[in-house]
Amino acid sequence: EPPDTPEDFSCQTQDMKRVTCTWREGETYLYGQNLPRYTLSKTSAQKAALCKASCSKQCSCSWDIGQQWIWNVTVTVENPLGKKTATDVFDVNHRIYPTAPFQVWEDCTDTEITLHWNYKNNKIDLFCQTEVLLPDGKVELHNSSDTDSRRVTVRGLQPYTEYMARVRCGAAKHFWRWSEWSQPLTTRTKEGTPSGKLDIWREIIPVLGGRNVTLFWKQTPGFQANGKIISYEVTWKKIEDGSKPESISFSSVYNSTRIFIDNHSYRICIMAKNNVNFSLPSVLIISRATDNSRSIFSTEELKEGEVNGTDDGIFISWEPRSIYDSYIIDWCNFPRLQPCDLLWKRFGPNTSSAVIISAAFVPGVRYKFRIYGSVANRAYLLEKKIGYLRELPPLLDPVVRKVDLTYDSVTLSWDSYITNESEPGFLRGYHVYVSPVEGNCNLKGSKKHILSDESELCKYTIENPEEKRYTVKHLMPNTKYKIVVKAFTGGGETPIVNFRYIDTPYNLNMLYFVSLLVIVPTLVAAICHWKMKWVKECCCPVIPSPNKSKVLSFKEFKIDSENVLKINDCLPDVLAMDSNAEAQKL
């Protein structure tokens, strides 16, 4: 293809002595002797080349300007298939592209940095710009003044903070373009007085004659050390009698200490110190021993409420009170260690719930939380909470101590389940599982439970964890059953492994009933057979007698105590007289 017109053709100078023109070459798909040839010349005399062009990623050509300031130059590109040109007319004073500043150095205070630099051509008036990279990744640009282009002062910086800066310059009178950036300079502002306060907390343990108070402190996001913390100063003073304060200093590697105080009220201050000064004091008031552990609203012993874990942490809520200016929750990441690593977190007065997040929280460990309200630097215990990140099944199953059997029921009795802080969950109740050894279970009042081997069990749920006795009814007599009692928590229960086997006895009442149905009729038949004549005379006489036959008893016909047969009501075959006396009566 024939060559394209050279793109981005422009000329500039860095030292007012030599001009360099640059452009981008196009693709012609010709090689060897047919490669495009570039010629740079004055437009008025194109046959006389000003310089020899060289091309790599970009083509360039340089020449000395002498005393000429206005130039009209043309670059010509040609190959066997064609020729193209590009022209640039310029004033050298308007095409100054300075070299990058060098020898950059700084002067620092705690909040300011003054940058200084040099550049090669001092005859050119330059305007410079400084780029400052802040710790949060943001970039600030600061311009030098017209009167002093070799330095710039950056103000409003943080003490004892690392910054990175670099400088570039351009022509002050006829700006053409910025120079390249100087080499970056990394510097740190000097130390300043710490700003803000430490976040402090305490744990109080009553002992003989007073209290052991463990003090904790940490730096919060609002606290700025503004230097290297070299120590912490702890001061405590009795409030009532105005006694002389006591103080002790700790190295910066410590974040807690223990002091002993008596049962009076104390004012405790903790300050951080760097090489410049102390921070503002953080104040904590320890109330008298009789008032220290209770809310100002309550005189009753606080009960522990249960809290639940979430995907992120443990959710805690409390009842807000308008009197407090902040709330504090403290807990131990590793509650089974003694002494535990007490942690705490503060919340504003309008907060009534929070999710406590810690990488140390693990399932199956019970964590205790205490919620305090703070007013005028005094903290009052409001509520206690216990909970798990996630509950796990119980470690043990209840031990069944007694089994009472009848032909259709079994009563199980077990020991009280011991619940303590080592349990992996809150005990919610018990499950009783029953099934005949042969066949499936379909007892009335139960639910079906399918095991991993697809066998069926009857399941009974006891939702009272204080219950220690349960009766399974509607069993079959003379049948072998397998039975087990499982404790369950919010995390479920352990898999069923071992069963207890029982055999229900025969139903004796049924045996008695069957015996009556068989033996009594047989006995009656035998007696009747043995006394057949007497039975026949008694029950079916040939000639009925009103006095002997119950069949012929009529209540409505009586003479004294004798039964009377009314002859008119029947047609007798034979009339017989028992005696003359009877005949006379009739």
Same domain, 123 and 179: yes
- pLDDT(548) > 60: no
Same domain, 263 and 321: no
Q: How far apart are CA 417 and CA 168, in angstroms?
A: 78
Under the phi-then-psi rule, with left for phi > 0, alpha for psi from -120 to 50, and beta for the rest, what region is 209?
A: left
In the chain, pLDDT over 90 holds for what percent of residues? 52
Q: In the listed set 482, 504, 526, which residue is the last one of a domain according to the structure?
A: 504
pLDDT at position 487, please?
Answer: 93
511-546 confidence digits (pLDDT tens)? 566 566 777 778 877 777 776 766 666 666 666 665
CA distances from 302 to 298, 321, 383 (A): 9, 16, 6
Segments forming the whole domain that contains residue 33: 7-94
- The reply to whether 450 and 363 lie within a common domain is no
Kindly state whether residue 166 falls inside one of the protein's structural domains. yes
Cα 204 from chain centre: 29
Please identify, among 53, 71, 94, the residue that sits at the C-terminal boundary of a domain.
Answer: 94
Q: What confidence tens digit (pLDDT) does each residue in 389-416 have?
A: 999 999 888 889 999 988 888 999 998 8
The total domain count for the chain is 5
Give the model confidence (pLDDT) of 15-25 as tens digits. 888 999 999 88
Tokens of 150: 């070799």
Please check whether residue 458 is in contact with residue 446, taking contact to mean a CB–CB distance below 8 angstroms: yes
pLDDT digits (tens, 9 = 90+) for 487-504: 999 999 999 888 999 988
Tell me, yes or no, whether 183 and 202 share the same domain. no
pLDDT single digits (tens) 66-110: 888 999 999 988 888 888 899 999 999 999 999 999 899 999 999
Same domain for 279 and 358, yes or no, is no
Does residue 106 sit in the same domain as residue 90? no
Q: Is residue 37 part of a domain?
A: yes
**Is 393 among the domain residues?**
no
On whether both 404 and 500 belong to a single domain, the answer is yes
* CATH assignment at residue 325: 2.60.40.10
Same domain, 88 and 113: no
Question: Do residue 165 and residue 202 come from a single domain?
Answer: no
Angle between helices 532-539 and 508-530 (to 10 degrees): 90
**Of 94, 123, 151, which residue sits at a domain end?**
94
- Asked which of 4-18, 379-393, 538-552 is least confident by mean pLDDT, the reply is 538-552
CB within 8 Å of 281: residues ≥ 6 apart: 197, 235, 269, 270, 271
Residue 340 lies in a domain: yes
Give pLDDT tens digits for 21-42. Answer: 999 887 767 777 888 888 888 8
- Same domain (yes/no): 277, 348: no
Strands 456-462, 400-405: pairing kind: unpaired
Please tell me whether residues 377 and 419 are part of one structural domain. no
Query: How far is residue 344's CA from residue 364's CA, in Å, rounded to a whole number?
Result: 22
The verdict on 282 and 332 lying in the same domain is no
Provide the pLDDT for residue 559. Answer: 58
363: in domain: yes
**Domain annotation covers residue 89:** yes
Residue 414 included in any domain: yes
Any domain includes 83: yes
